[in-house]
């Protein structure tokens, strides 16, 4: 695997490009109002004292405000809502700024992982990061305040993996210790990060060279602390909620439903929508599949990288959605990185193969630019939809509050607002700090 030294000037400019791509589409959302779960989440957490943080390691972060007790231990996520909510409790700006910054940090980490683990050039790694940043499927995780519950665990998942990869590459106990510490934060951000052990094993067995991997015994020794932390976390969940994981795929029908859902997720990630597939989209998918097959046939290294960071990263990332209990685009925020990695691998393979063919390289640059432009054009309307939903939630909520103030005590108000704006919002949206 290629060793990469300190960042040069060009790499720093590429990071600026990645951050810009991650932030720019979402800047219009900064003053968008709360909607759906946001009201309950923010109201609960801004009311809790700072000293609540240690207790969140042993209890559900949402307590029972939804009239049921969710099996979610998320102290670090809860703490961020205090950071962004206590200053201006009834205003959304700091929440949105935090979400956008989190998304940008994830994009930079995608670039760093592409460099360190996949051995991609700076430009190919930046392409992976930009693709990840502008995928339309990410809108829910960034534009929706509560969407942070998926972008934040992804941040610590990527940071854990990056520290582990650099430890494998450079050695040093400090990097390994950081990897373990970051993994603890990932676990206590969201339970889908229990898949980390599988990701580390896939990297060690498929990508890491034999000299650094050494023996299977050495690999098991490296994985064991992560396994111990995972088991301890699952035992804590068992003790608190009576089950280590939610439900599962216990029947053929459930398995078929999960496969269908995974297929919709894959289409949403790759095409940016879940509508009927157009003819040109099918042709593009076939062309990409043929290109991947050709690159895999030509290069054993590409084959290993694609299996690890394309196929397995997707499978490992999407697997937790089998027990999520519902379908949501944000559930593949982490898994979507597999598609960004795959396209970047393909770009780099084509670039290297066309070393003596400048027209082909120009064609590759054009194709990469076209992919980014396509995703941006499909992302913008999705973000605008979230803005519209927020505007409806704001105007509707204020109208309900005013009518409640004007009505005599005991009056029953019948409110009809779109579910997409108001689901799980009442009664929180008409109480402090929003009223």
pLDDT band at 388 (very low <50, low <70, confident <90, very high): very high
Is 104 a domain residue? yes
Helix 196-206 vs helix 216-241: angle between axes, to the nearest 10 degrees?
A: 170
pLDDT band at 435 (very low <50, low <70, confident <90, very high): confident
pLDDT score recorded for residue 3: 46
Is 68 or 236 the better-scoring residue by pLDDT? 236
pLDDT band at 415 (very low <50, low <70, confident <90, very high): confident
**Ramachandran angles phi, psi of 263, nearest 5°:** -65, -40
Q: Is the pLDDT of residue 403 over 90?
A: no
Is 252 a domain residue? no
Is 326 a domain residue? no
Q: Is the pLDDT of residue 414 over 90?
A: no
pLDDT band at 38 (very low <50, low <70, confident <90, very high): very high
User: Mean pLDDT over residues 385-395, rounded?
Assistant: 95
By C-alpha distance, which of 138, 143, 135, 150 is closest to 72?
150
Contact status, residue 147 vs residue 141, Cβ threshold 8 Å: yes
Contact status, residue 265 vs residue 275, Cβ threshold 8 Å: no
Helix 358-406 vs helix 337-353: angle between axes, to the nearest 10 degrees?
A: 160
Instruction: Give residue-wise pLDDT tens across range 136-177.
Output: 999 999 999 999 999 999 999 999 999 999 999 998 889 999
pLDDT score recorded for residue 91: 95
pLDDT score recorded for residue 149: 96
The string over 317-344, giving b where at least 16 C-beta atoms fall within 10 Å of a residue's C-beta and e elsewhere, is bbbbbbeeeeeebbbbbbbbbbbbbbbb
Instruction: Give residue-wise pLDDT tens across range 83-105.
Output: 999 989 899 999 999 999 999 99
User: Mean pLDDT over residues 341-361, rounded?
Assistant: 92
Domain total of the chain: 1
User: Mean pLDDT over residues 311-318, rounded?
Assistant: 96
Instruction: Give residue-wise pLDDT tens across range 240-260.
Output: 998 888 766 667 787 888 888
Rounded Cα gap, residues 92 and 29, in angstroms: 9
pLDDT score recorded for residue 141: 97
Q: Is the pLDDT of residue 2 over 50?
A: no
Q: Is the pLDDT of residue 391 over 80?
A: yes
Is 22 a domain residue? yes
User: Mean pLDDT over residues 23-37, rounded?
Assistant: 97
User: Mean pLDDT over residues 296-319, rounded?
Assistant: 95
Is 327 a domain residue? no
Is 4 a domain residue? no
Is 320 a domain residue? no
pLDDT score recorded for residue 157: 98
Q: Is the pLDDT of residue 1 over 50?
A: no
Residue range of the domain that includes 392: 9-244+372-430
Instruction: Give residue-wise pLDDT tens across range 330-348.
Output: 999 999 999 999 999 999 9
Mean pLDDT of the chain: 92
Is 120 a domain residue? yes
């Amino acid at each position: 695997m290629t060793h990469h030294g300190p960042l040069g000037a060009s790499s720093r400019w590429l990071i600026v490009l990645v951050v810009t791509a991650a932030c720019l589409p979402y800047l219009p959302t900064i003053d968008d109002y709360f909607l759906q779960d946001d009201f309950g989440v923010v109201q609960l957490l801004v009311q809790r004292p700072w000293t609540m943080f240690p207790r969140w390691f042993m209890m559900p972060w949402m307590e029972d405000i939804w009239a049921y007790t969710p099996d979610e231990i998320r102290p670090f996520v809860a703490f961020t809502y205090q950071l962004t909510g206590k200053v201006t409790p009834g205003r959304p700006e700091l929440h949105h700024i935090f979400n956008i910054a989190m998304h940008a940090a994830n994009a930079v980490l995608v670039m760093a992982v592409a460099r360190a683990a996949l051995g991609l050039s700076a430009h190919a790694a930046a392409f992976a990061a930009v693709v990840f940043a502008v995928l339309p499927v990410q809108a829910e995780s960034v534009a929706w305040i509560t969407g942070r519950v998926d972008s934040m665990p992804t941040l610590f998942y990527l940071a854990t993996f990056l520290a582990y990869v650099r430890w494998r590459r450079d050695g040093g106990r400090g990097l390994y210790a950081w990897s373990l510490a970051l993994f603890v934060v990932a676990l206590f951000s969201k339970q889908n990060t229990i898949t980390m052990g599988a990701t580390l094993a896939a990297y060690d067995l498929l990508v890491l060279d034999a000299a650094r991997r050494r023996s299977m015994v050495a690999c098991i020794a490296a994985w064991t602390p992560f396994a111990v932390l995972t088991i301890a976390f699952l035992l804590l969940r068992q003790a608190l909620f009576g089950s280590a994981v939610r439900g599962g795929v216990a029947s053929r029908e459930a398995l078929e439903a999960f496969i269908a859902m995974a297929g919709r997720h894959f289409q949403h990630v790759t095409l940016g929508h879940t509508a009927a597939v157009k003819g040109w989209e099918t042709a593009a998918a076939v062309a990409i599949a043929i290109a991947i097959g050709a690159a895999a046939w030509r290069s054993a290294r590409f084959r290993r990288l694609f299996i690890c960071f394309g196929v397995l990263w997707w499978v490992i990332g999407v697997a937790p959605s089998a027990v999520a209990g519902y379908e949501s685009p944000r559930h593949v925020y982490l898994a979507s990185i597999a598609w960004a990695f795959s396209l970047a691998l393909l770009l780099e393979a084509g670039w290297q193969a066309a070393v003596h063919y400048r027209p082909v390289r120009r064609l590759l640059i054009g194709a990469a630019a076209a992919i980014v432009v396509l995703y941006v054009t499909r992302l913008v309307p999705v973000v605008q939809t979230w803005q519209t939903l927020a505007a409806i939630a704001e105007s509707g909520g204020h109208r309900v509050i005013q009518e409640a103030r004007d009505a005599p005590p005991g009056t029953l108000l019948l409110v009809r607002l779109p579910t997409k704006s108001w689901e799980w919002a009442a009664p929180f949206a008409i109480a402090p700090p929003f009223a």
